[in-house]
Structure 1
Amino acid sequence: MFPDMDSLLAQAADWLAEADGLLVCAGAGMGIDSGLPDFRGPGGFWSVYPALGRAKIPFETIANPASFDTDPRLAWGFYGHRLDLYRKTAPHAGFALLLDLAKAMPRGIRAFTSNVDGHFQKAGFAPEQLCEIHGSIHHLQCANGCGQHIWSAEDFQPAIDAAHCRLLGDFPHCPHCGGLARPNILMFGDWGWIERRTALQVQRLQQWLCSVDRLVCIEIGAGTNIPTVRHFSETCGGRLIRINPNEPDVPDARSGLGISIGGLAGISCLHEACTQA
């Protein structure tokens, strides 16, 4: 017999009441309730980028450093569109609810995410509270590998021909060698990603984890296809509350709860349960 939703939420609320630190682990499902696209499967990806669908270019091919060599206008058409979309889209209310859940915890809150959209910062998380394990689209690096430089993409305002997924204006350039710039994101088949910024975030997060005695991890929208987030949430050393409508199973029912529900709905239910506890 499986526990009902009310029982799961009550148990989760008890765990959160006992916690001295909250770790949020977020995968791609975290952004769906903000209106961000779901790239799972070629059908979902090509519905967002029909020009790539017509050319039968899968996500793994365009989200690849080789695309900046073979067709940089197409590569920046894809990433420039995403950059503009993430800038214009507001984070959903669940981010603020997570901050509220941790406000009374002595060690506070941290976030570990594979998302590159910058929505945790936009929602009010401080830079030192974040670990963006796959990098950030809001930062750039040299595509030619001239050094270990990472800089803000703030000055780059891409003009995109959405119908053909192509950059219309000027490319962003490396301020050090003048060559083409690319996002500071870990892509498929990527041996040139500069991980220095993310490595510092990982170091800060590990130091924080060592300071927490009663950790609870809330994992949201992290699938098994690219299991980076799920693996981290399962090995971080705390109790796990997994919010996932399709893959809610947890490895150990004694220290984990799986709630089969979407991201914003799950966070809202958790917040309500904690308020009523």
Structure 2
Amino acid sequence: MNSVVDFSLHSYRDDAAPEATARPHITVRGLSKSFGGAPVYSDFNLDFPKGRVTCVFGPNGCGKSTLINMIAGLIPYDDGDILFDGKTLQQTTIGYVFQNYREALFPWMRAIDNIKYPLVIKGMSKADCDARVEELIASFDVKFDLNRYPYEFSGGQQQLISIMRALAPHPEVLFLDEPFSALDYEMTLFIREKLQEIFHTTGVTMIVVSHDLEEAVYLADHVLLLTKRPTRVADTVRFDAPRPRDIATLSSAAFVQTKARCLDIFQREVRK
């Protein structure tokens, strides 16, 4: 059986200050999933800590997006149990930022109505919906006209709209599937900064899938490193640099050491 991974016991830095143990927010037990008879996950167990940013990194095709999509209820799993603070998914408010934002936004809806959509589904009044959108506009310092349609915006603006929509219902857990993969570097830096602000303000549990190791370490409290299929946890590496993190973080000794440790684990797995 795959033992449960306790993030509180994994830290690369020998000199790191002790971190208060975060209680589990998401518990995954006995998770199994196969595609075409080939197992991706088999009897997989994992705890995601509450109020932390966990970045998921691993070899191509190992099932990073599949894992968070199963947890978020977007694809079915064959066996197992997933709970959020002891609750089911149906009892939990989540937000999800898709990699392909162009397809994630409803093209027939104005941007502002895309953002309001999860609030309308929850049955909130127009006044409450409008108030929440105004909060988000102020938080992100949005200068462009949200009464236009998604196809009228740049890719970075579309992804920003997607993030605002995911945050609109005050999620308990925010999932992000490679949210920067199609953005230019300027917009990537902007979104990184905003995500840090969101985390600082709300303390929301974030699960981020990344294919960029620098990005994963920069954002994470914990980097969850996966193996090739059938997928297991290769290791978890903690990064406890103070927030907000900035360009100086990327050249700090702690960052360089943590990234090197993650790269070593990753290369060990892909060479197997």
TM-score (norm 1): 0.31
Higher strand share: 2
